[in-house]
Structure 1
């Protein structure tokens, strides 16, 4: 199973994701695909996200049971800590 969550994604990317995945809520896509197909979807997200941001999570054979990657201008970034992937929350830049 994989889940893609987007914020401020361009319509072209949302349409592309809707071809492969089921949009269960605005900007939230789910589906079950092979690692190869997941990588192709991730490449399209990375190339088309523009000013938005996205996270892709999928089942994996690790202690957590899942893995994830983030794309775009996102304040939440994955970090490794004692063999676990956690989320670092970067402070907001002053306006």
Structure 2
């Protein structure tokens, strides 16, 4: 499985993504493609998306924890790895 969340994809990339993925919300793509195809898609995204695209990739892998998180460009929310588990840091808003 591959999940792609982007701030802003180039129109040509977004159109191509619709071949392999469903788009439940704008710039959110989900697909159950095989690992070999997912690797090809990830390589395509790295080649065709500028850092301003703000892409977050969540890809299933065969070993623990079962997924990996990658980004293109600086993410809005930083990630941290604890005991081999990659997590997205959420800040609490007081109020």
Structure 1 residue 62 displacement after superposition: 4.3
Deviations 1:10-33 (A, max 9, x none): 111111111111111100111111
Contact kept in structure 2, 1:46 and 1:72, CA below 8 Å: no
Hey, what's the Cα distance between the residues in 1 that align with 2:42 and 2:73? 12
Contact kept in structure 2, 1:80 and 1:86, CA below 8 Å: yes
Give the superposed CA RMSD: 2.1
Contact kept in structure 2, 1:70 and 1:78, CA below 8 Å: no
Hey, what's the Cα distance between the residues in 1 that align with 2:81 and 2:74? 20
Q: Which residue of 2 aligns with 1:36?
A: 36
Unaligned residue ranges in structure 2 (runs of 5+): 91-95
Distance 1:86 1:54, change over 3 A: same
Residue-pair matches, total: 89
Structure 1 range deviating more: 43-52 or 57-66: 57-66
Unaligned residue ranges in structure 1 (runs of 5+): 90-95
TM-score by length of 2: 0.75
Identify the structure with the greater strand proportion: 1
Structure 1 residue 81 displacement after superposition: 2.4
SS of 1:7's equivalent in the other structure is coil
> Which aligned segments of 4 or more residues in structure 1 are displaced greater than 6 angstroms?
none
Residues 1-95 of structure 1 aligned to structure 2 (within 5 Å): 1-50=1-50, 51-87=52-88
